[in-house]
Amino acid sequence: MKLAVIEGDGVGKEVIPAALEVLDAFELDVEKVPLELGYDRWERTGTAITDDDIDILKECDCVIFGAVTTPPDPNYKSVLLTIRKELDMYANVRPIRPLPSVKGIHDRTDFNYIIVRENTEGLYSGIEEIGEDVSTTKRVITRKGSKRIADYASKLAGSRTNKLTIVHKSNVMKSDKLFLDVCRQSATDAGVTHSDELVDSFAYNLIRNPWNYDVIVTTNLFGDILSDMSGALVGGLGLLPSANIGEKYAFFEPVHGSAPDIAGRNIANPLATVLSLKMLLEWHGDIAEAAILEEAIDSSLNLGICTPDLGGKSSTSEVGEFLANHIKTRVK
């Protein structure tokens, strides 16, 4: 496997080394291609990402990514959005699942749902006019873009409980009527049981009754917001992994950002990134390794070896080291 490794900024520089220690413990045949991208590089060199970087990424099989700082500066080209678009990774898959010994806001832990977020259009079209008194962002919903994410979500639902929830705001934004219609058709064609909810009341229902959902498909910004909100259900943002998937490329990253409020202290929770690594292993077909990794994570949490966000006393690197040592005893 040729794996591009992007630490990025802030806690990205801490959680990626921990995840790599975990990966190295498997002694898989992995060629790592480190790339320095993001805000720190922009400050130093004036570019956060270039076409050459995209070419390098396209030559890799997949990517593991930490986090980047994205300033609201019109001259700054967002690394993440550029990569998602250039590599056409249209599906942002965000599983929400409680881990052992970690409580979120509910006592019940019998939920397990996946947000499938459209990743290339919607309010992230990048088509903007910024003026002194009026600024606009164009929300783009296409039939093609909606169909491919709907088909992805329907297929995923078919492999689970065959239940799909379509989340939209078509009462206000008619662009979402197209999204809704295409999703309904896709689910019907796939033989998947489906329903739809308006995003505002859906957010209320999801946080109150997460066990009522399985696969959720939605547009770009709604998926962004609903996934961070879901962090409250599993015990924090430091626990949410994600995969960005396209026809050709795959890119794995924690849902969280560069966390400047805790960066540089070796206390960021590496599990969101380690769980993203687990998604990478599964995607690559390394199913046995993924299972061992899951077991290592469960063991660390059951022993209370975790970072302060989960009430523990361990550092980022200590969690990585524990997981790596556990894996070494299992793969030898």
Positions touching ligand NAD (CB under 6 A) are 11, 15, 67-70, 80, 237-238, 253, 256-262, 268-269, 272, 309
Selecting among 90, 169, 196, 278, the annotated active-site residue is 169
Closest CB to ligand NAD among residues 69, 314: 69
Closest-CA residue to 36 (of 62, 7, 13): 7
76 classed as catalytic: no
Within 10 A of 35 (CB to CB), how many other CB atoms are there?
19
124 classed as catalytic: yes
Closest-CA residue to 32 (of 67, 68, 61): 61
Per-residue contact string for residues 207-226; x = within reach of Mn ion by CB under 5 A? -----------------x--
DSSP 187-235: HHHHT-EEEEEEHHHHHHHHHH-GGG-SEEEE-HHHHHHHHHHHHHHHT
Under rule CB under 6 A, which residues in 253-272 are in contact with ligand IPM?
255, 257
332 classed as catalytic: no
| Residue, CB closest to ligand NAD | 257
For residues 39 and 37, what is the distance between their CA atoms, to the nearest angstrom? 7
163 classed as catalytic: no
- Dihedrals phi, psi of 240, to nearest 5 degrees: -105, 115
Contact 61, 32 (CB under 8 A): no
State the binding partner of 73 from ligand NAD, Mn ion, ligand IPM, none, CB within 5 to 8 A by kind.
none
Contact 129, 154 (CB under 8 A): no
Strand 215-218 versus strand 250-254 pairing type: unpaired
85 classed as catalytic: no
Size of the site for ligand IPM (CB under 6 A): 7
Tell me the closest approach of the beta carbon of residue 281 to ligand NAD, in angstroms: 20
Per-residue contact string for residues 168-207; x = within reach of ligand IPM by CB under 6 A? ----------------------------------------
For residues 321 and 332, what is the distance between their CA atoms, to the nearest angstrom? 17
Q: Which range touches ligand IPM (CB under 6 A), out of 75-83, 146-154, 179-187, 269-277?
A: 75-83
State the binding partner of 310 from ligand IPM, ligand NAD, Mn ion, none, CB within 5 to 8 A by kind.
none
Contact 74, 16 (CB under 8 A): no
Q: Does 224 bind ligand IPM (CB under 6 A)?
A: yes
What does the binding site for ligand IPM look like in residue numbers (CB under 6 A)? 70, 78, 80-81, 224, 255, 257
What positions carry a catalytic annotation?
124, 169, 200, 224, 228
